[in-house]
Amino acid sequence: MKQSINVIISGGGTGGHIYPAIAIANEIKLRYSGAEILFVGAKDKMEMEKVPQAGYEIKGLWISGIQRKLTLSNLMFPFKLMSSLWSANKIINKFKPDVAIGTGGFASGPTLMMANKKGIPTLIQEQNSYPGITNKLLAKKAGKICVAYDNLERFFSSNKIIKTGNPVRQDLLFIHSKDKDGKDFFKLDAKKKTVLIIGGSLGARKVNQLIETQLDFFKKQGVQIIWQCGKLYFEEYKKYNKLENVQVHEFLNRMDYAYAAADFIVSRAGASSVSELCIVGKPTIFIPSPNVAEDHQTKNAKSIVDKHAALMIKESELDTFPIVFETLVKDKGKQESLSENIKGLALPNATSDIVNEIEKLIS
């Protein structure tokens, strides 16, 4: 195996595609200090900001997804695709990668297509229990497909599938020892139970609306809340910071402390969040977003709920939240069994296992 390798990593659009890509890059750098790593993203998406912050170079393609209704963006799609294939071809010719990795998102389509065409080995990291259209198309030519859930043989060739799990932040592996640090960091009352609400980096409108209507209910339950409402909603909800035992955050920079301090978690069911919550091992209520491709968040949550490892409330059933939550808070046995069961689903070595597969492809 050579000491200096060239790796292209493509993925983005959401944090769920970007953070695994960065985790994989960091692990490659640990093993090969001389590795050259180049990211390829979509020009106007968050990876163009997040990847350079993590210390990596990124090139942008003019690409976006297809909307479900007739829009100008849809009419532009064939032109964007041709432009992106041409740009990806140019990037690959210049960079000469030994391997190309796709973590999902629009930009990974043209990038891995061109890599496949040139005979460069490709690996897909599929985070969800239900793959998106890009990964389904790319899978036919991919060398390996690293997945986080069972039963993906319906979509991918079984001899290519390796169950590795999703890369997670390494600082989450030791959160059981950070309980006091977490409570101090968020200035919490150590005698009270804490509920952590997470709706993704941008925020989740329906989750935020629910929490707003339940503030009196939480007060009656005697719990304190850490509420990550997201970038899009902070201006609207920050006024509740003046309430006792309520803290509203746009973003949580110390997720490890937030998870460590929490006794209960209410969360969306994006792939990265689900993988993190398996490692965290706290009683969790999922409220999946129904507005994502193929309704994959509901499928992600259901795969955990079916193993008696979490609870789920659909957006159409949010009026049941007080009953579900109060029942959980009063049932110590239920809390313990949910914690045990969700911990049993954790795959903490995912990043390392994925890079092992990349090494096999290169050699």
Binding site listing: 14-16, 128, 169, 201, 297
- The dihedral through the CA atoms of 110, 112, 114, 116 has a sign that is negative
Binding residue numbers for UDP-N-acetyl-alpha-D-glucosamine: 14-16, 128, 169, 201, 297
Distance CA 270, CA 264 (A): 18
Q: Which residue has the tokens 């969360």?
A: 267
Stated length of the chain: 363
Q: Which of 234, 233, 232, 215 is nearest to 224 (CA)?
A: 215
Which residues have a Cβ under 8 Å from the Cβ of 61 and sit 6 or more positions away? 40, 41, 42, 43, 83, 84, 87, 88, 106, 107, 110, 111
Q: What single-letter DSSP state applies at residue 60?
A: E
Q: What is the C-alpha R_g of the chain?
A: 21
Tokens for 130, please give them.
């239900």
For the record, the structure tokens of 67 come out as: 């909307």
